[in-house]
Amino acid sequence: MDENQLAEELRLTVGRLVRTVRTADKMPPGEAAVLGYLDRGGPLTTADIAQQRRVSHQSAAKAVKELLAQGLVRAEAHPSDGRKVLLHLTPTGSGRLAEERRRRADWLGTAINDVLSSDERKTLEAALPLLSRLTTHLNGE
């Protein structure tokens, strides 16, 4: 298999895995993504979130509006630019995100245990740093 075939197989397989794992979610993917960005990156503007997610500002704003209405995110004036609003994860939002992550991890962990042998689990574990390096490179970090 050449590198292009490997790349296409990796893209298809990882994409299918991510979509399948998301079926365990109780929250729409856009909302979960916003909570994740706020959890990892601290307070952000809607524009920051849109840029990081590579979606339109309108799409990010829709998810933010829902999260604000549910009390999962709170907004405050930007300290240096009064035209902007900084979004913060609330304790309720943090708890909801932890619940979503736990649900995904439990579901995927059970599948890993049910389907993969001990040696296969070790191979999967050994592949994680490689996938992480590829992701870092593709993100330009």
59 in any annotated domain: yes
Residue 88 lies in a domain: yes
How distant, in Å, are the alpha carbons of 28, 68, 105 from that of 92? 17, 11, 20
pLDDT on residue 44: 94
Whether 37 is covered by a domain: the verdict is yes
What was the pLDDT predicted at 23?
84
Residue 69 lies in a domain: yes
How confident is the model at residue 83, as a pLDDT? 85
**Does some domain include residue 83?**
yes
Block mean pLDDT (10 aa), the chain, length 141: 94 92 86 94 92 92 95 92 90 95 92 96 96 90 73
Reported as type and span, the H/E element at residue 109 is helix 91-115
Classify residue 130: in a domain, yes or no: no
Task: Say what the pTM is.
Answer: 0.79
Alpha-carbon gap, residue 117 to 123, rounded angstroms = 10
Does residue 106 lie in a domain region? no
Angle between helices 46-53 and 29-41 (to 10 degrees): 110
* pLDDT confidence of residue 125: 96
Q: What pLDDT was estimated at residue 25?
A: 83
What pLDDT is recorded for position 98? Answer: 95
**64 is in which domain, residue-wise?**
18-98
CA 96 to chain centre: 14
- What CATH number is attached to the domain comprising 59? 1.10.10.10
Q: Is 54 left (phi over 0), alpha (psi -120 to 50) or beta?
A: left
Residue 40: inside a domain, yes or no? yes
What's the domain count of the chain? 1
Supply 40's token pair: 């990892």
